[in-house]
Chain A
């Protein structure tokens, strides 16, 4: 078992709990005496509150209290740094003053005995506003026009302008991507209770430690006085990495009313006050020689940001090192719009950055008249020029070969509209994927228990990706115990310090810590085994051999964990570990991949369908073939949504999101699913960690929009540079 469990297609161990409803999400916790909070949200995007009248609402049945800027305790801001693990994107605390910065900002919070009573009363709170004389910037274009562009960062190597001017082939294009809203199934939820000055929070969060640290700063508490729980999360996609105003407001309200308070964010407010992927405008210029070798790359991005916090979308991150090119310029800048802050959304940076770069590469291939795959092969690099280090493990060429073979790319005819399936025109496109592989420090505790089972504790969390399961696999491997005997407990900030579930680094971060803690537990067991009461009493320390829950010495004696611990009335043998971040070994760590996409365009009814996707992913060792495939498939589907459907639309006159619901904010449905083939290369990257795993949550999203856009171009001849590719951008007026 121990040899085969790593990499096996293991079903998620929390599946039965989720299926039967035993799994408890933040909103499922109901501490004794709990009451409910409902928000009142601003209906203007820029201005100030001139009056709040709660008279009618306070008379509404069940109302306990109503909080707003004129009635709220003074709180503190979080420093909001990654190093201190207390990041917030919206720096302001709720109800800080009378200023309105975006539509849907919290302006009041009603607390009542029931959810329905709180909501009914919230509708009766009357808020008067005075709009600023200057308009609210509703879009990136308006933000640039009204507020200008603020430089964030840039980097340059060689002479990109000069090399471009001298290049035989050039592409100069601007690509735009819209605001996308995370919209996990489970909206944000917080349950807060105060017991003897200590704060206990059940929160739908991707980081129990970060949330604890942030709340401890906001409420001026020692971190040990704050407990954050997140047993299960109905996904987050980055939207639940940091603390948002509702969480702070709920905790404060619970303290004020002296009872536990539950808050669940309504779906409409998922579009306003809990982050989004910002709008981007990306200017890409490529220059190449006659053979298609890149002489110059410039990738310059402006993204929409917010008056309440600046967030930079690092679109050019992957552009630094994906291709060999000596002359390069990357820059990032922001412009303030009257929206809540953007935040990380699955594959921030590369997620939309590669749409621009990989679309431009397709345009360059068309200019050159060479196959787009061949163009990428010619520009392959095993050396990350951005960091000036070799990649630890880069199998992008193998991704190209295997996916192209599976897709049948060699049968592609390059002329636009040249491939048909009956009345439908087929388009074949491809694009590369790239994501930085990261690893962070981590603690973990593993206990071998007297009942023959083992437990794992870590203050990380499983946001639905399969973290519970792969940790059980690793412990099963290290301890030689069956999977069913491993109990994984996460999502509690009082456990050993663990990472946020973000950046695709949970796997690379957690596995070494759990493995080392498992080995420490075995070592501890060996110490106990030599005690007088043990069946192995007196064994020489280095003579003890552990195998599958049993210790043996060199004299032929052998005893199980249960026998060793039971004989001494011990509950367990506990191992603790602290493992470090990515090793400073002179390598650059990245994951790679490629998507091949077939679209079918039926001009007679203006219908575009993605019919086939073949993706090959090089993400190091695959720990769980099932959940890894599931992650890539999910990312591909999300990428399809980003390519074709997703866009949060704002009314340009007042910055109100107008499609803030699940019916009109479109994401793919089951009926949109293409034939999906995911090839996982499974080449371990032992430079990053002992298991060779690099994480797989985000890589599959990157490049997807470009692969679709390139296929659409091949089918229709329309080069769509502005996402999403909705049918109005393709329809002919026939």
Chain B
């Protein structure tokens, strides 16, 4: 950790002002940022503390969705009655992330903005295109089992996006509300995180000094069931090796709507649109789910230590679809 300047902002306007013209970082829960500053991986000259900003509410939108304040803590979001009822997948995803202590601090916007767990990014020394653009990717030929992707990778970066919450939001459908020097705007959640391509240091759509103020969720699909399945080596406090957020609506036993997103395997929260499309109109059978899983993982690229993630993700998909469909039928499992 190097010396930095600290400013506490009282509103979004003053936060953006304090951020501009500096090598600055917004400080919310700090669960990623402070770690990386201590490790000397991030070297902000100024931290702009946004914890006092009044974005701490979860409101119902006119469209029947929810608008979640940037500063709503992960614990509060997971425990919210409307989230538990209408967006079970989101509550379950949050509760399988990190530990309770971390969830008590971590915020909604901070979760959207969390950095990758790639050890080569975090060691501050190895070549890493995210940390030092153009220096190379150490992970591609290195040790790449746990927190590395098989979807959306490039020759420049294979780090998996670590969030569980974002996977659920990608499945639900969401909008990121942003404010900044040139005013307010919105970004579709699926467009917010960027593929690494040949610019892995550009991770998201935020412009200079821009700040996330809210994330709004699309209205829940009527009669749908949803769930989040996270597969990992230990039962808690580990990032997903493969995870799946599934939302399924049925008419009888026929699938009328399906939403599918993957975690642990993608370089961004990974919406599996082709697999969704193939499911609609199909009977909710194991065969259909397995076919969807195969479709979702079709373009996957295995690396030296993480090839197992491809079959593992397929298993997560089949299980998530099975459980979501059961919930859509009203089974109490």
Binding site for B on A (CB under 8 A): 43, 61, 116, 119-120, 123, 604-607, 609, 644-645, 649-653, 656, 658-661, 663-664, 666, 668-672, 726-728, 731-734
Does B231 contact A606, Cβ atoms closer than 8 Å?
Answer: yes
Write out the residue numbers on chain B whose beta carbons fall within 8 Å of the beta carbon of A606.
231, 311-312, 315
Q: How far is the CA of A653 from the CA of B136 in the complex (A)?
A: 15
Does B119 contact A659, Cβ atoms closer than 8 Å?
Answer: yes
How close is B22's CB to chain A, nearest CB, in angstroms? 18
Does A672 contact B234, Cβ atoms closer than 8 Å?
Answer: yes
Does A728 contact B123, Cβ atoms closer than 8 Å?
Answer: no
Q: A604-B319, A727-B308 are in contact. Are A120 and B233 (CB under 8 A)?
A: no
Does A669 contact B237, Cβ atoms closer than 8 Å?
Answer: yes
Does B125 contact A43, Cβ atoms closer than 8 Å?
Answer: yes
CB contact between A727 and one of B138, B237, B312 (< 8 Å): that residue:
B312
Write out the residue numbers on chain B whose beta carbons fall within 8 Å of the beta carbon of A116.
1
Interface membership of B229, Cβ < 8 A: yes
Write out the residue numbers on chain B whose beta carbons fall within 8 Å of the beta carbon of A728.
145, 308
| A116, A658, A668: residue with the most chain B Cβ atoms closer than 10 Å | A658
Query: In the complex, which residue of chain A has the Cβ closest to the Cβ of B309?
Result: A728
Query: In the complex, which residue of chain A has the Cβ closest to the Cβ of B304?
Result: A652
Interface membership of B228, Cβ < 8 A: no
Q: A658-B119, A658-B143 are in contact. Are A732 and B238 (CB under 8 A)?
A: no
Q: How far is the CA of A116 from the CA of B37 in the complex (A)?
A: 12
Q: How far is the CA of A604 from the CA of B289 in the complex (A)?
A: 13
How close is B131's CB to chain A, nearest CB, in angstroms? 14
Query: In the complex, which residue of chain A has the Cβ closest to the Cβ of B4?
Result: A120
10 A-B pairs with C-beta separation under 8 A: A120-B2, A653-B141, A653-B142, A658-B123, A663-B239, A669-B234, A669-B235, A671-B234, A727-B233, A731-B308
Does A120 contact B3, Cβ atoms closer than 8 Å?
Answer: yes
Q: How far is the CA of A650 from the CA of B125 in the complex (A)?
A: 15
| B146, B234, B318: residue with the most chain A Cβ atoms closer than 10 Å | B234
Q: A645-B233, A666-B238 are in contact. Are A120 and B319 (CB under 8 A)?
A: no
Q: How far is the CA of A651 from the CA of B145 in the complex (A)?
A: 12
Closest 8 CB pairs of A and B: A671-B235, A728-B308, A671-B236, A658-B119, A669-B236, A658-B143, A123-B40, A43-B125
Does B311 contact A732, Cβ atoms closer than 8 Å?
Answer: yes
Q: How far is the CA of A634 from the CA of B122 in the complex (A)?
A: 31
Query: In the complex, which residue of chain B has the Cβ closest to the Cβ of A650?
Result: B143
How close is B11's CB to chain A, nearest CB, in angstroms? 30
The proximity string for B residues 142-185 relative to A, scoring 1 for CB distances below 8 Å and 0 otherwise, is 11011100000000000000000000000000000000000000
How close is A723's CB to chain B, nearest CB, in angstroms? 13
Q: How far is the CA of A732 from the CA of B310 in the complex (A)?
A: 11
Does B318 contact A604, Cβ atoms closer than 8 Å?
Answer: yes
Q: How far is the CA of A609 from the CA of B117 in the complex (A)?
A: 25
Q: How far is the CA of A651 from the CA of B126 in the complex (A)?
A: 11
**Given contact pairs A653-B142, A663-B237, a sample of 8 additional A-B residue pairs in the complex whose CB atoms are under 8 Å apart:** A123-B40, A664-B119, A666-B234, A668-B234, A671-B235, A727-B241, A732-B311, A734-B315
The proximity string for B residues 1-43 relative to A, scoring 1 for CB distances below 8 Å and 0 otherwise, is 1110000000000000000000000000000000000101000
Q: How far is the CA of A649 from the CA of B142 in the complex (A)?
A: 11
Interface membership of B316, Cβ < 8 A: yes
Does B146 contact A659, Cβ atoms closer than 8 Å?
Answer: yes
Does B229 contact A605, Cβ atoms closer than 8 Å?
Answer: yes
Write out the residue numbers on chain B whose beta carbons fall within 8 Å of the beta carbon of A653.
141-142
Contacts of B294-333 to chain A: CB distance below 8 A: 308, 311-312, 314-316, 318-319
Q: How far is the CA of A662 from the CA of B38 in the complex (A)?
A: 15
How close is B33's CB to chain A, nearest CB, in angstroms? 15
How close is B39's CB to chain A, nearest CB, in angstroms? 8
Does B143 contact A731, Cβ atoms closer than 8 Å?
Answer: no
Write out the residue numbers on chain B whose beta carbons fall within 8 Å of the beta carbon of A669.
234-237
Does A663 contact B126, Cβ atoms closer than 8 Å?
Answer: no
How close is A700's CB to chain B, nearest CB, in angstroms? 20
How close is A222's CB to chain B, nearest CB, in angstroms? 41
Q: A666-B233, A727-B308, A728-B308 are in contact. Are A604 and B315 (CB under 8 A)?
A: yes
How close is B298's CB to chain A, nearest CB, in angstroms? 15
Does B1 contact A120, Cβ atoms closer than 8 Å?
Answer: yes
Query: In the complex, which residue of chain B has the Cβ closest to the Cβ of A732?
Result: B311
Does B311 contact A658, Cβ atoms closer than 8 Å?
Answer: no
CB contact between A672 and one of B122, B126, B235 (< 8 Å): that residue:
B235
Q: How far is the CA of A728 from the CA of B117 in the complex (A)?
A: 20
Does B234 contact A734, Cβ atoms closer than 8 Å?
Answer: no
Q: How far is the CA of A43 from the CA of B141 in the complex (A)?
A: 19
Does B231 contact A656, Cβ atoms closer than 8 Å?
Answer: no
Q: How far is the CA of A726 from the CA of B232 in the complex (A)?
A: 9
Write out the residue numbers on chain A whose beta carbons fall within 8 Å of the beta carbon of B145.
649, 728
The proximity string for B residues 199-242 relative to A, scoring 1 for CB distances below 8 Å and 0 otherwise, is 00000000000000000000000000000010101111111010
How close is A183's CB to chain B, nearest CB, in angstroms? 14
How close is B144's CB to chain A, nearest CB, in angstroms? 9
Write out the residue numbers on chain A whose beta carbons fall within 8 Å of the beta carbon of B38.
119
Does B315 contact A123, Cβ atoms closer than 8 Å?
Answer: no
